[in-house]
């Protein structure tokens, strides 16, 4: 049984996030489009929730987006702490 990890990929616009979501879904990644939580970035934005098989799956997804020239504004890993969700920045 393999474990999965959730990530949130942040984008500067709805259109970039939607394109990223469509691109990843076409390659069978488990993704969903969502509005970014307030305060995650300095500006409003949209993101893609990505559930994958850990860091290697994230790297595959990021390579695919890079090949398609889809630029993100950050990658975050959500974790629960004291009944709230904290988003840790992921550095690749």
| Domain count for the chain | 1
Q: Which helix (H) or strand (E) holds 80?
A: strand 74-81
Q: List pLDDT tens digits, range 2-18.
A: 578 999 999 989 999 99
Q: Which residue range forms the structural domain that includes residue 12?
A: 5-89
Q: What is the length of the chain?
A: 92
**pTM tops 0.85, yes or no:** yes
CATH number at residue 26: 3.30.70.120
Non-local CB neighbours of 37 within 8 Å, separated by 6+ positions:
85, 87
pLDDT at 14: 93
pLDDT at 35: 93
Q: List pLDDT tens digits, range 36-86.
A: 988 888 777 899 999 999 899 999 999 999 999 999 999 999 999 999 999
């Amino acid at each position: 049984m393999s474990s999965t990890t959730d990530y949130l990929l942040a984008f500067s616009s709805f259109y970039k996030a939607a394109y990223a979501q469509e691109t990843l879904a076409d390659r069978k990644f488990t993704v969903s489009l969502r509005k970014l939580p307030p305060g995650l970035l300095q500006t409003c934005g949209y993101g893609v929730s990505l559930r994958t098989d850990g860091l290697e799956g994230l790297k595959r997804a990021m390579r695919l987006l890079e090949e398609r020239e889809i630029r993100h504004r950050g990658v975050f890993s959500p974790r629960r702490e004291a009944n709230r969700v904290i988003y840790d920045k992921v550095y690749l």
